[in-house]
Structure 1
Amino acid sequence: MKEKQNNYWKKNLTVLWFSTFISGIGFSMITPFMPLYINTLGNFTKSQLVTWNGLIFSATFLVMAFISPVWGKIADRRGRKLMLIRASLGMAIVITLQAFVVAPWQLLVLRLLQGVFSGFISNANTLIASTAPRSQSGRALGTLNTGVMSGTLLGPLVGGAIAQYFGYRVPFLITGTLLFIAFILVVTFIQEDFHPIAKEDEESTKEIFHNLKHPKIIFALFVTTFIIYASNTSINPFVSLYTKQLMNGSSNVTLVAGLVAAMPGIANVIAAPRFGALGDRIGTEKILIGGLFFAFLVYIPQAFVTNIWQLAGLRFLVGISDACLAPQVQTMLAKNTSHKYTGRIFGYNQSFQSMGNVAGPLLGSSIAGFYNYSAVFLFTSSLALINFIWVFSNLKVKNKSHL
């Protein structure tokens, strides 16, 4: 029976790894040329184009921030597999429709709907967190993380090539097709032994948090998720401009900027499963604390680089710190939450992730505009330090309570 259970969650992990991989390719395939696609939908001034870009980019994440806890609650009631089916099929349809828009407002509406149907990656994490043995949850979630990260790295290369030769609309059709394949894989192969909670036994969100052994730790992990994603995306608005500045106007700016942007993901793919397995052996908390302090250290020198290869090397180290953070946060959430309410907790974590994805570029562009590019890295480093102190103090209190 034990062997059967092991095969059950391992099979889910294999299917979801491939599903998140192709989903990651699809999502990241359309991101690099989205501003160019928007520009083809009308005759805009520079100010109008910037405004449409900001609205269309942020729309999905803003909706996700509000809707994710709702889907998390439904996942706890109806099952995580159903949420994977809902997300993959819904987004397959919505993203396919984005290939046929003729005005920016139509794209904005569809991006809002994309936020409503979102959550495939977070629900994949939730299902693995609720089915994998807790002694192996770090390795399992770290491995799953490499699926979406690998796809995210490959996507811009594939999407750029397709858009170059076949136009901007074709990648949306391909992304929709990839998500439909993920839908078929989930329906066909994912198994979930789900036992719904009786309605009379269901607890409110307030009661769930009240009954948690360490609610302050859970909230600290939510904020950590916010800071991780805000830090990672804060450089996005100016990475190509910073690269151009360091390269003194070289003609290879676009290629090198793409390489710099990919560095954290490459490191994350290599390191995440290893840190997950190490956390299962020595303690997930130790990996998280080490990652937070390392993040504080690696952001500082990025403000003082003098050539592009220094920046690329430091961005690789950022990926190492990320491998100690996001998967470990998910593992700690899984280990400190009842399986009955994993969906709700992971839904709130997804909300903080979405808010980080919105806040990061806004903070980065604002600070760079008022000061300079270097100030963004120093500000991000200070956020990491504050987060390290907060999480460390909360974990210290938790450990004392066990004595």
Structure 2
Amino acid sequence: MEIWKRNLIVCWFGMFVTAIGLSQIAPVLPLYIGQLGVHDTAQIEQMSGITFGVTFIILAIFSPIWGQAADKFGRKPMLLRASLGMAVVIFCMGFVQNVYQLMILRMLQGVVAGYSTACTTLIATQTDKEHAGWALGVIATSSISGSLLGPMVGGYLEETIGLRSIFFMTGVLMLIVFALTYIFVKENFKKSDRKVLKFKEVWDLIPNPALLVTMFITAFILQLAFYSIEPIITVYITQLSQNTEHIALISGIAFSASGLSSIIAAPRLGKLSDRIGAQKVMLAALIAAGIIFIPQAFVKSPFQLTVLRFLLGLATAGLTPSVNVLIKKITPNSLTGRVFGFSMSAQYLGTFAGSILGGQVAAYFGIRYVFFITSILLLINALWVYKTVCKRISYNKRSQFAN
């Protein structure tokens, strides 16, 4: 088997487990905090929001730092550092005795994480150009599907093996990821002796910084769209359902439906982007996702919502790989890790912002307005991509042809 294919398989599994480890705590966090001695409902909600969100804020800060380290020391050392660090930290979460210990470990998890950034950089730099779009599409399914399946997995495991066992199991899986990475991942990397560049120096080396900003904002909006519904989907399912039993399981299935469809669609859309251009796939995906969000506000049953969430996953599966392909094309190889670190920061901030947006909009205006506002944001993003990316790339191609 070719080295890049073997790297892809290991990285896919590692990113999938990492994403599940980050997201599966969401549905069980209030229950765990209740077990840790917090019994007031309002306080549980407050502590849950802080404990869940703090990891992604810390991740947004440290992703560019670890991306810079990956450019200087190699991507495989970052993979080993992140997988081993997360294995230890998540395993320790099963032993906490109060909510403050859990919060500290969630913060530490944000510090040591960075597996996804290093994986994306490794695949982008070690895969040949002919297969880059497909490979980045495949790797995108791991993060998206892991993040979306995580809540359902967490809810199921809570009912079967208990809350603390979830952390022990995830820690062991991350240890397996560490072992697989150490044994099978190979990287052709030469250590750089160059000085560490400051942010402005990095930015000055980017051929098209305006295009890069568009990619970062698109990554942010994508995550915001996915997670805007997470804090209120259980409430929405309760309103739609005639049967109040198994609400958590039904909510997990509805939320995770888009993750399942992304697994199916992302590699195919990655191949399509190799043929027709990543910018065209991105534009079509943004428009389709913006449209599909609207009917979710008018559904009459959980089944209808689940079907629409599945269709949403088919549409948005084209976004992350297209963003990554364009970032790779406009970024010098020596800065790939640093720039992908910035992109991951944008995604983590989008996850945090989406959770906050969904809850606040639902509280002040009603749940259905969450879908309307998210749809508007996606369609505005599509218009911006058309003007700043598609038109510019088409103009550059015509200019090259004329010359």
TM norm. shorter chain > 0.5: yes
Tell me by how many angstroms 1:284 deviates: 1.1
* Correspondence 1:227-238 to 2 at 5 A: 227-238=221-232
Tell me by how many angstroms 1:318 deviates: 1.1
Specify the SS of the correspondent of 1:31: helix
Q: Alpha carbons of 1:153 and 1:350: their partners in 2 closer, same or farther (altered >3 Å)?
A: closer
Q: Aligned to 2:216, which of 202, 219, 222?
A: 222
* Correspondence 1:114-125 to 2 at 5 A: 114-125=109-120
Tell me by how many angstroms 1:314 deviates: 1.3
The answer to whether residue 138 in structure 2 is matched with residue 143 in structure 1 is yes
Equivalent-residue separation in structure 2 for 1:110 and 1:401 (angstroms): 49
The residue that corresponds to 2:312 in the other structure is 318
Which deviates further from its counterpart, 17-26 or 218-227? 17-26
Tell me by how many angstroms 1:65 deviates: 1.1
The residue that corresponds to 1:3 in the other structure is none
Q: 8 Å contact 1:239–1:261 — kept in the other structure?
A: yes
The residue that corresponds to 2:190 in the other structure is 195
Long gaps (5+) in structure 1: 1-5
Equivalent-residue separation in structure 2 for 1:82 and 1:33 (angstroms): 32
The answer to whether residue 190 in structure 2 is matched with residue 177 in structure 1 is no
Give the CA RMSD over aligned residues: 1.8
Equivalent-residue separation in structure 2 for 1:184 and 1:26 (angstroms): 17
Long gaps (5+) in structure 2: none
Q: 8 Å contact 1:26–1:174 — kept in the other structure?
A: no
Q: Alpha carbons of 1:165 and 1:250: their partners in 2 closer, same or farther (altered >3 Å)?
A: closer
Specify the SS of the correspondent of 1:199: coil
Q: Alpha carbons of 1:167 and 1:92: their partners in 2 closer, same or farther (altered >3 Å)?
A: same
Q: 8 Å contact 1:23–1:182 — kept in the other structure?
A: no
CA deviations 1:242-279 (Å, max 9, x no partner) are 11111245434333222211111011011000000111
The answer to whether residue 78 in structure 2 is matched with residue 83 in structure 1 is yes
Q: Aligned to 1:56, which of 42, 51, 54?
A: 51
Specify the SS of the correspondent of 1:169: helix
* Correspondence 1:2-401 to 2 at 5 A: 7-152=2-147, 155-156=150-151, 158-200=153-195, 203-395=197-389, 396-401=391-396
Aligned length: 397
Which deviates further from its counterpart, 31-40 or 350-359? 31-40
The AA in structure 1 aligned to 2:339 is I
Which deviates further from its counterpart, 154-163 or 246-255? 154-163
The AA in structure 2 aligned to 1:53 is S
CA deviations 1:108-159 (Å, max 9, x no partner) are 0000000001111221111101111122111001112233445456555554
Tell me by how many angstroms 1:67 deviates: 1.1
Normalising by structure 2, report the TM-score: 0.94
Which deviates further from its counterpart, 161-170 or 77-86? 161-170
Identical pairs, percent: 40
Equivalent-residue separation in structure 1 for 2:358 and 2:67 (angstroms): 30
